Amino acid sequence: MIQKNSSGPAVAALARLRETALYMPVKAFLEGRGYEVKGEVRGCDLVARRGDEPLVVIELKLRFSLALVLQGVDRLALTERVYLAVPRPSSRHRRSRGTAPDAPDVRKLCRRLGLGVLLVGPRSVEIIEEPVPYRPRPAKLRALRLKDEFDRRLGDANIGGAAAAPVVTAYRQDALRCARALARGGPMRIAAVRAAAGVPGAARILQRNVYGWFARVDRGTYMLSGGGDAALTRFAGAIAALPAPALPPASVPVQPCPAAF
């Protein structure tokens, strides 16, 4: 493993924006740590060796890109010690949401793939990621929430990738079922909405009124608001895929008792 304390010669050649300008600073950085370094070895930009340790392969590029990542992944077939070396980004680039090599998401990607990352500056070479096996910590709570949301949703009312449209979540489906019940039955008490909509959590949905679809008429009694009426039109397609609402029990005619003889 390359030691992280790094300093090297000035790199005036970096200003010329050529990949070869990265070679000498990285070479000097590695040689200062006891590596023998050679360039352009069987397609690899830089190969280094120190004693019996695994070979180190470093790919040099002027900017971080998917092509560089794919190149690094290919080099992992040769050795487990693969680094991607790019110039240190400017403060303006670092603030952007692009593929800055020191951005948290980019670093996480490289850790996941087992790729190291070197930043080559005018006076130093810095290791910001080591090429070590990445074992992400399982997010059990997030995984449970994902499974619960999938299981609770009825049908598929969303188109994947449609960022502008509101997502019809399981909670929104339950709220739509409550709104549909109120639209058909008028003002109702919570227990009646729960039974008509078939939503066990109707009380919480009506009381929180997250979407503004319900209006409280009296204690424990709710009606549909104007926003709720508009929602029934807006989400008509999603509502059509929901289970049919419960119907009130049909009245059974009373049969007269047969006359006793």
Give CATH 1.10.10.10 domain extents, the chain: 150-157+167-240
Give CATH 3.40.50 domain extents, the chain: 12-129
User: What's the chain's average pLDDT?
Assistant: 84
Helical pair 170-185 and 190-197, crossing angle rounded to 10 deg: 110
Task: Please name the CATH architecture into which domain 150-157+167-240 falls.
Answer: Orthogonal Bundle (1.10)
Q: What parts of the chain have a pLDDT lower than 50?
A: 5-16, 95, 97, 249-254, 256-261
**pLDDT at site 246:** 66
Q: In what order do the strands lie in the sheet with 214-218?
A: 188-189, 221-224, 214-218
Q: What is the pLDDT of residues 234-244, one digit of tens each?
A: 999 999 989 88
**pLDDT at site 98:** 54
The amino acid occupying position 45 is: D
**pLDDT at site 258:** 47
Q: Which CATH number fits domain 12-129: 3.30.450, 1.10.3470, 1.10.238, 3.40.50?
A: 3.40.50
Q: Give pTM, 2 decimals.
A: 0.62
**pLDDT at site 17:** 54
**pLDDT at site 6:** 47
